Amino acid sequence: MPRITVDIDSTASSTIRKPGDGASGCLSSGGWPVGHGRVPDTLDADGLPLDALVLMPEPALAGATVPAWPLGVLHRAGAETAPAAPVLLCVAEDPSFIDLVDTDDLPRWHAEGDAWAAVLARLQRQAASEVTDCGTRAEAEHLISDAHHAYERLTGCLE
């Protein structure tokens, strides 16, 4: 599983949690914090770094860089008829998330696509978008690879 970093812009509480989670590691709302940020050295179809959400053991300050691994891809419907850009779903490198490695694990954590979309809406201060699909870790890794390749091609680092 490739390790990546995410530059965090903001953090919010979420409803994402495992059954039996006590107060340890969880925010008072009962869920783990989620950070919103960008994956450096990547470019999406709009020429921007990949958008990412990271499940974390503790909130991170804006400007922090969090080591993470890809978990899946959140596909959303856009405000118009075109689909919104996919959002990379990640978990921080922390033993708390050792059993959360692919989208098949999301229901156990109450972390289906709608939970991610709700926290993204709070972080971006906009209405929650409709989740059309939650892609797998393999899709996330492919998205990262393509976005990194696009960055290298643009910056001339591609050999």
CB atoms within 10 A of CB 25: 16
Tens digit of each residue's pLDDT (9 = 90 or more) over 52-91: 999 999 999 999 999 999 999 999 886 555 567 789 999 9
Distances (CA, A) of 36 to 6, 149, 158: 8, 22, 28
- The CATH fold assigned to 4-155 is Inorganic Pyrophosphatase (3.90.80)
Q: Is the pLDDT of residue 1 over 80?
A: no
Tens digit of each residue's pLDDT (9 = 90 or more) over 99-123: 899 999 999 999 999 999 899 888 8
For the four alpha carbons of 82, 51, 99 and 138, in that order, the dihedral sign comes to: positive
pLDDT band with cut points at 50, 70 and 90 for residue 128? confident
pTM to 2 decimal places? 0.88
Tokens of 137: 């870790």
User: Residue 158: what pLDDT?
Assistant: 56
Tens digit of each residue's pLDDT (9 = 90 or more) over 20-54: 765 444 444 568 999 999 999 999 988 999 999 99
Pairing of strands 50-55, 131-135: unpaired
Q: Is the pLDDT of residue 10 over 80?
A: yes
